[in-house]
């Protein structure tokens, strides 16, 4: 059985147009996806990577410590993952009942599998799009938008493709894994924006084809094994380097390069607050770990 290493340059579902022209040159992350056979790859860190433990819920004292850290900080970076949108009705990837439990990512979400059979991806993509289009930002998204209005936020780096930060009113959003609202033609690069693309798929056009050249359309959601969007990646790195505080919300931190960003911020002198329902692979680098639901904890630490 073929497995994909957790530290391969993969990500969610999609890619950004610039990115196909100008590839991000971070050595490690540009390596082609590493493949391996055999049982060794079936570790807790494979693509499905269910987390191992759930610890105590955040207490008032820790919430207060985090709130003060945010209040005193002048350069805040935020990194979000699928967990922040769970309370908006969008399942995450690796929790029980997560997306990768129903769809084998090797079959549905690698760049290679897309080129082999784009229909599979678009079938899953259509199901996701229906969920995304119905979802509304929750209290955590709203609180982050408020944090930006207070002007000490450098930016939100998100691994999510659901557009909920923007819907909540956040302006400085770096979409590390692309967006479900953008697609492009694999043949002629024509870009397609908005819900219309999903409407076509819903109407039975699977895979959707380019109006100009009839080439297959690919969602911009970055697939496993696909290079990262260069502009988004360099913006994310810049934000992490400049930050004096990073708040990480709702990510298992298993997928690189996103999982490396908290360490980068820490190495650059930032303190780290981690908000997540379960333990992550990076709890050990956090100054404060707050266990619980993002929609409940984030408004409290931001003080809205």
Q: Provide the binding-site residues for ligand APR, judged by CB under 6 A.
A: 11-12, 51, 81-83, 86-87, 92-95, 98, 159, 177, 250-252, 254-255, 276-278, 280, 293-294
Task: Compare residues 97 and 204 and give the one whose CB is closer to ligand APR.
Answer: 97
Helix (H) or strand (E) holding 230: helix 230-242
CA distances from 171 to 48, 50, 88, 90, 178 (A): 32, 32, 19, 22, 15
In whole angstroms, how close is the CB of 221 to ligand APR at the nearest point? 8
In whole angstroms, how close is the CB of 93 to ligand APR at the nearest point? 3
In whole angstroms, how close is the CB of 48 to ligand APR at the nearest point? 9
In whole angstroms, how close is the CB of 197 to ligand APR at the nearest point? 19
Helix axes 294-302, 139-149, angle to 10 degrees: 20
**Residue 210 CB: number of other CB atoms within 10 A?**
18
In whole angstroms, how close is the CB of 233 to ligand APR at the nearest point? 14
Task: Compare residues 177 and 200 and give the one whose CB is closer to ligand APR.
Answer: 177
> What is the maximum alpha-carbon separation in the chain?
60
Distance CA 78, CA 65 (A): 17
Show the tokens assigned to 39.
Answer: 């049982």
Q: Is the dihedral of CA 108, 110, 116, 118 positive or negative?
A: positive
Comparing CA positions, the residue from 124, 56, 95 lying closest to residue 254 is 95
Task: Compare residues 83 and 210 and give the one whose CB is closer to ligand APR.
Answer: 83
Catalytic residues: 177
Task: Compare residues 200 and 266 and give the one whose CB is closer to ligand APR.
Answer: 266
Show the tokens assigned to 240.
Answer: 């992490």
CA distances from 4 to 9, 111, 182, 289 (A): 10, 12, 26, 29
């Amino acid at each position: 059985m073929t497995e994909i290493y957790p530290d391969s340059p993969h990500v969610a579902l999609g890619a950004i147009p610039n990115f196909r022209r100008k590839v991000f040159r971070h050595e490690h992350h540009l390596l082609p996806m590493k493949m391996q056979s055999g049982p060794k790859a079936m570790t807790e860190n494979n693509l499905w990577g269910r987390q191992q433990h759930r610890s105590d819920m955040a207490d008032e004292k820790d919430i207060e410590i985090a709130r003060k850290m945010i209040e005193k900080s002048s350069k805040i970076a935020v990194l979000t993952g699928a967990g922040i949108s769970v309370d908006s009705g969008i399942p995450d990837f690796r929790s029980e009942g997560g997306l990768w439990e129903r769809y084998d990512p090797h079959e549905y979400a690698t760049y290679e599998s897309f080129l082999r059979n784009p229909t599979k991806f678009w079938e899953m993509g259509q199901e996701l799009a229906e969920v995304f289009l119905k979802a509304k930002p929750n209290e955590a998204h709203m609180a982050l938008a408020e944090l930006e209005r207070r002007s000490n936020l450098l930016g939100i780096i998100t691994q999510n493709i659901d557009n909920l930060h923007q819907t909540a009113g956040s302006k400085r959003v770096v979409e590390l894994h692309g967006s479900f609202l953008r697609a492009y033609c694999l043949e002629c690069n024509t870009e397609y924006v908005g819900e219309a693309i999903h409407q076509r798929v819903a109407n039975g056009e699977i895979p959707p084809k380019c109006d100009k050249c009839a080439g297959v359309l690919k969602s911009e959601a970055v697939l496993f094994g696909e290079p990262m969007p260069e502009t988004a990646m360099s913006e994310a790195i810049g934000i992490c380097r400049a930050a004096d505080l990073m708040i990480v919300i709702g990510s298992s931190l298993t997928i690189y390069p996103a999982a490396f960003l908290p360490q980068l911020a820490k190495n650059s002198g930032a303190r780290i607050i981690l908000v997540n329902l379960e333990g992550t692979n990076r709890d050990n680098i956090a100054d404060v770990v707050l266990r619980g639901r993002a929609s409940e904890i984030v408004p409290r630490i931001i003080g809205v």
